[in-house]
Structure 1
Amino acid sequence: MFIIPKSVIKRIEAICRNYLWDGSSEYHRVPLVAWDKVTLPKPEGGLGIKKAELWNVATIGKLQQWHNYKPPATAPWSWKNVCKVKYLLKDGYVDGTWTAQAHGYSIRGGYDWLVMPHPAQNWTKLVWNNWNTPKHSMITWITLQGRLNIKDKLFKIGCSNDNHCCCCDSMPETNEHLFIYCPYSSRIRGKLEIWLGRPMPAVNEMVAGNTGSIQWK
């Protein structure tokens, strides 16, 4: 019914961010993944969590049925902010009709229209599916962002005495080594392929990216 003040929006998103990483409303460490990436849709590599500010705007957009109305100069600040929403959404209208979606304006459609699109990622269905437990999906997602706290990273910031792989203790523990090249991981993958009766192309198609994260072909 009204535009939420930005200070309140920031607090709401802070609570959501803290709960995601710590399960509580307070979290005093640096999050593993930036909030802008977390709020991307899942097909684009995020977690699909809504941006509170844009969702607020999209919700107000549902109330907008006037297109020639201008608030008077004496109108209160809160009402002027509500009226500003129609200017944010005006490019989605043609002759007063919402044309961005086929079935007219909806809050979800308005939100999707407001969100800046990013390239789709072809690994998302492998991470988010009914076969994976949420915990394993989350670990895989963090790994694909290159943000897993592996020993090589911890060693560089002085939080570990060495950077040796925790499984084979022969090479530095990087994302690529831990999940692809480590002999222990390879043996586990081989046993899984025998058990499944088929190769695991998702793992075989992993390649090391320039940023040190794992990407998919």
Structure 2
Amino acid sequence: MTYSKQLSYAGRLQVINAVLFSIHSFWGAVFILPQSILKEVDQICRAYLWGSSAENKKVALVAWDTVCFPKRQGGLNIKGCINWNKASVGHLLWQIIVNKEALWVKWVHGIYMKTDSIWNHKPPTDSSWYWRKITALREEMQSWEDYLHMRESVDDTECCLCAEKVMETTVHLFEKCKWISTV
């Protein structure tokens, strides 16, 4: 009999945030994890929260996407692995922009970017999987900002990470967001 059977949902939530998700956070800060790994970690956390095991399958009471919402939106404030991984890659982008003296950033500039800025750089087709993943997120982030500049209707303009009522721009994300600076 494991101790998790004796924990309430709140207790399991604490274990997920303090232990299971911390393991992912550690490795996710160092490596870009493949989608299959991220989905499996989310699946383990989901099963643990609802009390499922290999022998005893239980039905989820609430959709995992809803559980991952912030508390003010009705969720449990669990950071899903896929979104957390995007934030970790965003942190790597931020380091490339801001931390020019780090050895790995100098290496990236010397090997891949040469004289380009990160926003104008086109990754070569023979570049590493890791570099292609970083630049793919950069392009996704640029499209988010472009969407805002097209004056499209955006219902929720507050930063989903730090909950400040500011426009979510790359400047806010990489330079001013309090939550990102703590990562």
Q: TM-score, normalised on structure 1?
A: 0.42
Structure with the higher helix share, 1 or 2: 2
**TM-score for both structures, normalised by structure 2:** 0.49
